[in-house]
Structure 1
Amino acid sequence: MLLTSYLLAGLAILLAWPIPVALSRAQWTARSPFAAMVMWQSIALAGGLSMIGAMLFWGLDSLGDTLLTALERGVKLILGDPSIASPGTIHIFALSTAALLGFHLVLTLIRAAWRISRQRSRHRHILSLLTQESTVSPGTLVLDHEIPIAYCLPSFSGSVTVLSRGLVQRLSEEELHAVLAHEKAHLEQRHDLLLLAFTSWHDALPWLPTSKLALTAVQDLVEMLADDAALREVSPAELLRALLTVATGALGEPDTKAPAAISNAGTGGAPTEELTSQRLRRLLTPKSPLTASVRDLILAAALLLLALPTTMLVAPGLFG
């Protein structure tokens, strides 16, 4: 039990600093955003399991040599069996830490989901007062404002894309199609759920380097995934021109100001549409995607990384 605890603690340390730092600096992620996204998810899940598991096994060590034995004796101890010796203070502290950490992570996720749901509900109400339905694109709302604006508002019932009149007037038909395809990809692939998971992870553990690096990376990766979806319908030049026009609106123009009611801060964890340098580079100088074999190797590594702490948690109780 102690050996498993130490192994899980070591894995948690690796997943808290060197591995996410290396992945955040990797150049291949822009060539396969999907594989990179899977790897970040694996790091986050495996890191959480490792942290909780290390404390859990350390705390249960005094109750038995295997997980199942320790849990069985723990239940008997709670039920008042006098033959089971009570764990020491350190072991109780470890068990309490594992329970509190797990509860904290779940509670933060629920709280973030509730907060974002309310933000989107308020934002949708404001949009109903300030926008009108597009006659060209179903599920698209047009805001009567000069600043070029485009974003999506995800929902399990009635997701919408919001465009400003200024953007519609500035874009050509092909460029407008590129923007709509980009936002459609965000909605269909439910990138907001990915952002919700990593936002809550960062909210729960803001001091953990993994949480900040992962959130920043995932924000960029969801935009790349949406870019790739749009590139299947338009050329890179058309998409780039459209994105630059939207980015102008995101930065704000000197002679005008976007109304506070439509600030992206109120979209509740939806993609931010930030045009980062990495996105610009992959549109200006496209590189070939990773080969299928390399991509499969990365996905297999992500699966192995997630399976490692899971096996450590389960195997002692099954084969110990």
Structure 2
Amino acid sequence: MPLLDHLRFNAILVMIEIEKGFTKGFQMRMFKAWANARPLATAFLFLLVAALYFLAPIVSVDPSQLFGNGERDVGAESFAQVLWPEIRLAAAILIAVVLIGWVRRTRLATWPRWSTLLLTVPFIAFCIFVIISPILVSESGAADVTLTQADWQSIWMACLVAILVGFFEELLFRGVVLQALLTRMNGGLAVIIAAIIFGLFHYVNWVSGQPLGVTTMQVLGAMAIGLLFGAFVLWTGSIWPSIFLHGLWDSSVSVSQTLQANVSPTGDVAEVIFDPWSALASPPMIYGVLLLVLWVFFDRRKRKATSV
């Protein structure tokens, strides 16, 4: 090929690549504009994709184990087994949020107001209590705890999974969903609706086989904890405290179940009792309602003061 033709051929290739880059950039700007103009629709798409992801594996599962006919997963060992799926989920939602330009909207790029972090202390104390409660109710106390090296490894892995779960779920529900709702309603109502959606989303576990009673208690517990985490987002102005606390909560439950099985003579974890009122009157729910009411009260005072 003559030199001139070769240069022309390369120039055409460069022009094609430049055109592709401009096209992709234009398409991405259009997509970002669409997401910013329709935040509720964007949040719905995020929820739909997440639901499809969690429900997709049922096509390869024995049908007799679906819709509440499976077993309940408890303890750090079972929780630690989902490390790689949770890494993929955390990476996927982070990439999606970045691509649509919602890093600031989801409060992912916002540091918390440090003075408000004191509000998280009671919940941290409650998580510590949940962890040590099996030892407190044991007749011999800590003397009954005989954790093996494998147990400790499972606990550390479960804590890592809990952080990833906290990142994914908080970015989805207190980031994308809550912030989308805030464009159409006040903070208090948005937190309540986001918490309800967060709780109901856990029914995918029932479809995957978890017993209905256990799942319903999980749904109610998730609504309670979602209300509290939403209140933390409003107070701190950032999603990072709720990510950390979500990871801490999942870790405390997992470690508590492991310790409970360890100190139990039978090696079993206590069965979940179907008692909706216990979930709705739980310490996280009570504290969440208190923080939300206080936030609404002070927010209204602030709005009235600025409108005068």
Q: TM-score range by the shorter chain?
A: 0.3 to 0.5
Q: Please identify which structure carries the higher helix content.
A: 2
In the superposition, the TM-score normalised over structure 1's length comes to 0.33
Greater share of residues in strand? 1
TM-score between the two structures when normalised by the length of structure 2: 0.34
